[in-house]
Structure 1
Amino acid sequence: MVSDTKIPVVLCWHMHQPSYQDMRTGQFLFPWVYLHTIKDYSDMAAHLENEPEARAVVNFAPVLLEQIETYLVQIEQWRHGAGEIGDPLLAALVAEELPETGTPAFLGLIEKCLRANPDRIIKRYPAFARLAELTDVYRKKPELQRYISSRFLSDLLVWYHLGWMGETIRRENHCIQSLQEKGHNFTMDDRRALLNVIFDVLSGIGPRYRHLAQKGQVELSVSPYTHAMLPLLLELESAREAMPDISLPVHNNYPGGNERAGWQLQQAKTVFKRFFGVEPAGCWASEGGLSQATLALLDDQGFRWTASGDSVAHNSLNLAREEIPDLPDSGIHQPYTFGDSSVSVFFRDDGLSDLIGFNYADWHARDAVGDLVHHMENIAGQSRGKSRPVISVIMDGENAWEYYPENGFHFLDELYRILSHHPRLKLTTYSDLIEHPVAEPVRLPHLVAGSWIYGTFSTWIGDPDKNRAWDLLCEAKIHYDRVMDNGSLKTEQKESASQQLAICEGSDWFWWFGDYNPAQVVSDFEHLYRRHLVNLYEMIGYPAPPSVFQQLSQGSGEPARGGAMRPGHEADKPA
């Protein structure tokens, strides 16, 4: 319960990854699910466990939870000789034989083992840095490749996984500490021991967060099943509410979008309850993407709260003033309701959240936390004589920390310590704020559709590449609907096709399309998106059109933080 005098602060950490698994083969094409689990999801739980007075909201995308579970099943099957580990990188860690030097497979593994922050991860460990330097020689002087021992690749695989290991694990796990001290010439026993640590971390994620929730330290919430952008599924035209002149796809609507959006939420609740044993009260709609129709759907599904970015609040207030010119500016630090919806909407303080994402990584932890808390105290001070504000910091729980020393260990440790014992600020959760409100929600007639990024949907639609991706999805959905209606598929086949369609509906693919993103990541995601579409066509027994086999997008940009994070306001985009 929020105290009678303290100002409530909600830290909402969102955990999500799209589906990297090829449903036709069972193979994971990219390792980001298990790597972020051992580095970030584990650390984020540990910081809360280490500060019992701290509280937070932790949001999970269900498709992430399912992929963690799939890794656990595959590892267990491999241990019993009943199957293979479906991730090539993780499988290589414990492979009896590694690719021969000079082969494309050898080079491919080397390249994968360098996809880490060079300053905060690779260069932190001299042994890892030396291996990285050797790979440069390998690339530049191919005539020397035949003389490089397979021991090089074995050590590189071990160091890559050690580098990605969470800081709290590194400080407490004896196996990790002994491997780091050994430094080189890792044996198969060493590699298997490292896999055992990875398995233990993966297997602990669900129980640890469930326990934190049962203790009341954490409120667990959920996103749509595959992190789909619900307002656009419901109505592509909703993008015009914040950007009237935006260019939209040729298909002016996603076929059957209402049904699919409802399915995304219902499936999310089913998966969430299976993992955590309770119904979620809150939904962080993917990327804070909301519209009035989305609020109605959340209401129908029984959700009590959701959240978005502060630009959505400002856009909605500005629209309301056209009807009510003397409407007071209630600001972003209040809960809102819109139209006939009873769902409470909280708004991200973009300024505070972006300081964590883009500014504090190079600060001393005490200075950074001191600055952040000072801003919070100023917000609290401005509320005297008014209703108490609600200060919301909402951001993903994974991508920022690789830019911080030691995976943000000192910053997060200090943040929870200071806020847990602050005389004027109180960490809480959104459900507690609904049960014990500090202010009545401000009611506005209509929510202007948008996301936490710039208050628009420009990150997912409007760019020519993004629009082409939507047209491919709409076309596939038309064929999907025809096959579903003609009775040619059995029930099990329909369920598999529905799940594959849901993966194609995920918002992450559209996020990455566009020239302003890095070429390598755009290539990865557009290839994976098209593979998912091809799989969908195969599942419904319809030939994929040639357009699905044509490259969608080719990035050439160098956005801040690699493009995995964005500032909340367009004016704040780094040059």
Structure 2
Amino acid sequence: RDFSEADKQIVFDEARRIIKEIIPLHRQLQEKGQIEVITTPYAHPILPLIFYSSLARVGNPGAEMPERFSYPNDAIAHLERSVEIYQAHFGMAPQGLWPGEGAVAEEIVPLVAGAGYTWMATGEPVLAQSLGIGSFTRDTKETIQQADDLYRPYYVQGNSGGKVAVFFRDWTLSDKIGFTYSGMSGEMAARDLMARLENIRTRLKEEGASGPHVVSLILDGENAWEYYDNDGKEFFHAFYQLLSESTTIKTITPSKYLELFPEQRELENLFPGAWFSPNYDTWIGEDEENQAWSYLGRVRYDLSRYDMLKTRSASSEAIAQAQDYMYLAEGSDWFWWYGSDQDSGQDEYFDAGFRALLAKVYESLGEPAPAFVNVPIIPKKPAAADQNIQGLSTPIIDGISSADEWNNAALYSTTAAPANSLAYTFDATNLYLRLTFMRQPPPEYRIGFYLAIPHAADHFPFARAAQGEAPVLLGIAATRLFEWDGAEFKAFTAGNNGWTDGTTVKNATLSIKDTTAGVPILEAAIPWE
């Protein structure tokens, strides 16, 4: 507290100075041979799903899938751009690749090789499925029992050529560093890790395996060091000291390992999966995820009319900008937060960001964004009812609230004048609605009830606007509208570009009557069919 703007500027300047040193420092260490810096495809996509989304069915045959998304050229672009950016910063071509979320499949191997990568990495569940063993087993000390299988790279070659080595992450040891050791002293954590590495060496000797073997420890740095005391420095110092003293365990970069030991086993098939699962369920298959893929596919098709089909034209600069927004929208993080399996606490923020990128594709091409881009994939949280529905009921639609007839209805109060409350109930025949008012609405007042019907073919995100009115964003993917215009009760159906011409609701009953206070009550019965 009590820091001046000048004080803050000192902190900001120092932070910027340190940030600017990060890449030059790592470039220097790489040039000395101390480290190997790898990269990820441009916008961190789930590369196999960009290549062909139906690959998700291999790991989960029963999953609900969106309409197929398959743009191999985009997958190639993500890889080529990652190489260009890497070369610009490190003065050399990258050798190693961490695919977004460790997501791999045999189908992308030729693309990875074609971009110049010689190796990539993923998780042990992928190797277990690729070997047909289901999963690796561990003893009471959490030591892998199939050690000779896990602790080595494998060469994989796709059907169209191109060979890439694949290293597989030790799940338990990597997660110890990422999530467990932060709760221990650095010295104790380092000794525990070294003991576990020695246990692996012992197991390899028991198997009679011939080495040298390599243990891959792979983790997200942002998930670990902020939880360690002093950013993990005690752990690092103790671990590096123990490694320096060890005569049996050595550090090596993956590229150097392949250079020294080029003869490695080959996998006949690289199972589609990610770093923690032999499937892509976190990014596709749930309703929200599938809707996001549907949005992505519709926008990508519209863009393809410019950059692939050539049925529409724009400047090369406009198309390049639209492609860049498209690639950013193909990133994995948007899909990570859709669905029920992950929760950021502000998933609506990521939804808005994803759809903003899709809108930018059209803006770059000089086209208006279609209405669906404005429809939230994650709908607004529903208003809490003052009373939840208590059961079926059949109120009399006469504009008069008789005693008890709406007792079972759900009730919502509102301060959105001139309305006062909304109630609904239903029976086997009708949906019943009641709207009360705090004062007489103006003569030109229109009353609309917007419904969102799941799996409807079309939806529209804006309220129906009369001529000269600005459309209002509803916040839901509305599919049906029932509207009272003061004279008729009409039904409208959502289309791609708006609401269809209204037709009088058949067999509907609607009544508006003044109460003794002179304020009307609207009651309606809408048939289910």
For normalisation by structure 2, the TM-score amounts to 0.65
Cα distance, 1:521 vs structure 2: 3.6
- Quote the Cα distance in structure 1 between the aligned partners of 2:119 and 2:134: 21
- Quote the Cα distance in structure 2 between the aligned partners of 1:262 and 1:534: 23
Contact 1:222–1:268 (CA under 8 A) maintained in structure 2: yes
Cα distance, 1:238 vs structure 2: 1.0
Contact 1:242–1:315 (CA under 8 A) maintained in structure 2: no
- Worse overlay, 546-555 or 402-411: 546-555
Corresponding residue of 1:312: 126
Identical positions, percent: 32
Indicate whether 1:414 and 2:228 are aligned: no
Q: Which structure 2 residues correspond to residues 80-479 of structure 1 after superposition, within 5 A? A: 184-249=1-66, 251-254=67-70, 257-318=71-132, 330-340=148-158, 341-384=162-205, 385-388=208-211, 389-437=213-261, 440-479=263-302
- Quote the Cα distance in structure 2 between the aligned partners of 1:411 and 1:502: 38
Cα distance, 1:541 vs structure 2: 2.5
Q: Which structure 2 residues correspond to residues 505-544 of structure 1 after superposition, within 5 A? A: 505-544=330-369
Contact 2:314–2:365 (CA under 8 A) maintained in structure 1: yes
- Quote the Cα distance in structure 2 between the aligned partners of 1:331 and 1:342: 20
- Quote the Cα distance in structure 2 between the aligned partners of 1:275 and 1:302: 17
Q: Report the CA distance shift for 1:417/1:529 in structure 2 as closer, same or farther (over 3 A).
A: farther
Cα distance, 1:271 vs structure 2: 0.8
Task: Say which structure, 1 or 2, has more relative contact order (CA 8 Å, 6+ apart).
Answer: 1
SS of residue in 2 equivalent to 1:520: coil
- Point out where structure 1 has 5 or more consecutive residues left out of the alignment: 1-183, 322-327, 557-575
Cα distance, 1:543 vs structure 2: 2.5
Please list the CA deviations of residues 496-531 of structure 1 after superposition, one character each: whole Å capped at 9, or x if unmatched: 111111101111111111224335342222221111
Please list the CA deviations of residues 73-99 of structure 1 after superposition, one character each: whole Å capped at 9, or x if unmatched: xxxxxxxxxxxxxxxxxxxxxxxxxxx
Structure number, greater radius of gyration: 2
Indicate whether 1:493 and 2:493 are aligned: no
Cα distance, 1:409 vs structure 2: 2.5
- Quote the Cα distance in structure 2 between the aligned partners of 1:530 and 1:482: 20
Please list the CA deviations of residues 544-571 of structure 1 after superposition, one character each: whole Å capped at 9, or x if unmatched: 2332222223799xxxxxxxxxxxxxxx
Cα distance, 1:376 vs structure 2: 0.9
Cα distance, 1:288 vs structure 2: 1.1
Q: Report the CA distance shift for 1:488/1:315 in structure 2 as closer, same or farther (over 3 A).
A: same
SS of residue in 1 equivalent to 2:122: strand
Cα distance, 1:319 vs structure 2: 7.7
Please list the CA deviations of residues 450-499 of structure 1 after superposition, one character each: whole Å capped at 9, or x if unmatched: 11121211111111111111111011000111133245311211211111
Cα distance, 1:339 vs structure 2: 4.2
- Quote the Cα distance in structure 2 between the aligned partners of 1:198 and 1:487: 47
SS of residue in 1 equivalent to 2:109: helix
Letter in 2 for 1:293: E
Cα distance, 1:313 vs structure 2: 0.2
Q: Report the CA distance shift for 1:219/1:401 in structure 2 as closer, same or farther (over 3 A).
A: same
Cα distance, 1:219 vs structure 2: 0.6
Letter in 2 for 1:352: L
Letter in 1 for 2:365: I
For normalisation by structure 1, the TM-score amounts to 0.60
Q: How many pairs align?
A: 363
Higher strand share: 2
SS of residue in 2 equivalent to 1:345: strand
Higher helix share: 1
- Quote the Cα distance in structure 1 between the aligned partners of 2:302 and 2:42: 22
Letter in 1 for 2:52: E
- Quote the Cα distance in structure 2 between the aligned partners of 1:392 and 1:536: 39
- Point out where structure 2 has 5 or more consecutive residues left out of the alignment: 136-145, 382-529
Letter in 1 for 2:50: L
Cα distance, 1:422 vs structure 2: 2.0
Corresponding residue of 2:374: 549
Contact 1:289–1:449 (CA under 8 A) maintained in structure 2: yes
- Quote the Cα distance in structure 2 between the aligned partners of 1:318 and 1:242: 13
Letter in 1 for 2:68: N
SS of residue in 2 equivalent to 1:298: helix
RMSD between aligned residues: 2.2
Q: Report the CA distance shift for 1:248/1:401 in structure 2 as closer, same or farther (over 3 A).
A: same
SS of residue in 1 equivalent to 2:345: helix
